[in-house]
């Protein structure tokens, strides 16, 4: 769910389906094992077999090597780089500018106040613009029928741009809040910080994370 919506642009154009799951291999692992999907991943990348799990970093490397090999099959032609491939993709599908803020080791009480603030802003955000939507993401597993609620808060604009809030269970201690920022644009040569500034400012003003936690900024920006 928090991963970039860039994949949706591709599957929509190609007439293919996809599954939007919560973060975690237990969710897309079920889809891989049942052969409903063959490629998956979070911010990195994943593809599966019956014996490989949580090796998405290694698969990302192998995937890019395979793509580069296919694009450079003719050694007599100029080298096609990753940058060439990515820019060609953006030219066809548009670019999803993307960034993640991690706020680690938050006091649990402060983190709870942030999420209470977020929940109070659904109607406010939806009234700000035509096509704005907001939701607390819930997932029903198509394989075993299990339901996973409260998987993250999505605030989405009509053009597909969005910001997402999620409490992570992978922090070393305390509570970790991750804020995902995404701006879709046909202008593919913008600076990432500038492209995301309006969305970043709106996300932080909506959740009041700095005010409620006393933090001045994210612990990590990726």
| CATH number, residue 158 | 3.30.310.50
First to last CA, the chain: 17
Cβ of 187: how many Cβ atoms within 10 Å?
Answer: 11
Print the domain residue range for 164. Answer: 96-221
Together in a domain, 139 and 206: yes
Q: Is residue 105 part of a domain?
A: yes
| pLDDT tens sequence for the chain (222 residues) | 988 888 889 999 999 888 999 988 888 888 888 888 877 766 555 555 554 555 667 777 888 899 999 999 999 999 999 999 999 999 999 999 999 999 999 999 999 999 999 999 999 999 999 999 999 999 999 999 999 999 999 999 999 899 999 998 655 567 999 999 999 999 999 999 999 999 999 999 999 999 999 999 999 999
The model carries a pTM of: 0.87
Domain end, chosen from 92, 121, 144, is at 92
3-state SS class at 180: strand
Is residue 191 in some structural domain? yes
Q: In terms of domains, do 87 and 20 share one?
A: yes
Looking at the domain assignment, is residue 26 inside a domain?
Answer: yes
Residues 62 and 152 in one domain: no
Is 76 found in the same domain as 130? no
Asked if the structure places residue 1 within a domain, the reply is: no
Same domain, 165 and 209: yes
Q: Could you tell me the CATH number of the domain that includes residue 35?
A: 3.40.120.10
**Which is nearest to 1 in space by CA: 199, 138, 95?**
138
Final residue of a domain: which of 30, 58, 92? Answer: 92
**Helix 56-71 with 82-93: angle, nearest 10 deg:** 90
Residue at which a domain ends, from 92, 118, 142: 92
User: For the chain, what is the domain count?
Assistant: 2
């Amino acid at each position: 769910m928090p991963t970039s919506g860039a994949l949706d642009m591709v599957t929509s154009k190609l007439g293919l389906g996809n599954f939007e799951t919560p973060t975690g291999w237990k969710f897309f692992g079920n889809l891989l094992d049942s052969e409903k999907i063959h490629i998956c991943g979070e911010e990195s990348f994943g593809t599966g077999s019956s014996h490989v799990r949580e090796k998405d970093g290694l698969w990302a490397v192998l995937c890019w090597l395979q793509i580069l090999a296919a694009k450079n099959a003719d050694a007599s032609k100029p080298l096609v780089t990753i940058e060439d491939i990515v820019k060609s993709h953006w030219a066809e599908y548009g670019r999803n500018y993307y960034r993640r803020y991690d706020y680690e080791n938050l006091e649990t009480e402060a983190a709870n106040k942030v999420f209470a603030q977020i929940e109070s802003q659904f109607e406010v955000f939806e009234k700000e613009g035509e096509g704005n939507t907001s939701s607390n993401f819930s997932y029903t597993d198509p394989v075993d029928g299990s339901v996973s609620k409260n998987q993250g808060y999505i605030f989405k604009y009509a053009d597909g741009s969005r910001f997402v809030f999620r409490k992570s269970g992978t922090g070393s201690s305390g509570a970790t809040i991750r804020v995902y920022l995404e701006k879709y644009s046909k202008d593919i040569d913008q600076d990432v910080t500038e492209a995301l500034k309006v969305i970043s400012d709106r996300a932080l003003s909506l959740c009041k994370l700095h005010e409620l936690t006393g933090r001045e900024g994210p612990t990590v920006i990726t």
